[in-house]
Amino acid sequence: MKRIALLLVLVVGLAATSAARSQQPTKVPATKPAPSVSDTVSLKPSPELQKALDDLAAAVQALALKIASDPQIKAAAMQVASGAVNTAQQVVAEQSVAIQEALKSAAERISAAQANPHQRSKRQ
């Protein structure tokens, strides 16, 4: 039971770390990349990565089935999940000013883009 709870904590921690990394500002490259013709990217995982992803999916599915069938594990998982929710609520509360500023900035950009659609099309 403790192993499952620890695994859940690990998975939640990895997800939180991944989310935090995605919110960090990216470094600007020293040289500008060549302009691309297409703005879409096609990614194909390597066979090793695909196998790892499939194994992870199978492990998560097995864990979910085990959690659903065992009341003790289910209770432990609920405690871990409620802890994760409480932590997320605390982070949102602590970062509310930054979140509000980001939303305000995004709203202003959207409004400016909608107000001047001809300027954008002329630049392209």
Q: Is the Cα dihedral 65, 68, 72, 74 positive or negative?
A: positive
Rounded-to-integer distance, Cα 63 and Cα 67, Å: 6
Confidence of residue 15 (pLDDT cuts 50, 70, 90): low
Model-level pTM greater than 0.75? no
Rounded-to-integer distance, Cα 66 and Cα 76, Å: 12
Each residue of 84-113: pLDDT tens digit?
A: 999 999 998 898 899 899 999 999 999 988
Mean pLDDT (the chain, rounded): 77
Per the CB < 8 A criterion, the answer to whether 113 and 120 are in contact is: yes
| Coil, helix or strand at residue 51 | helix
Can you give the pLDDT at residue 83? 92
| Every domain of the chain and the residues it spans | 2-19+52-123
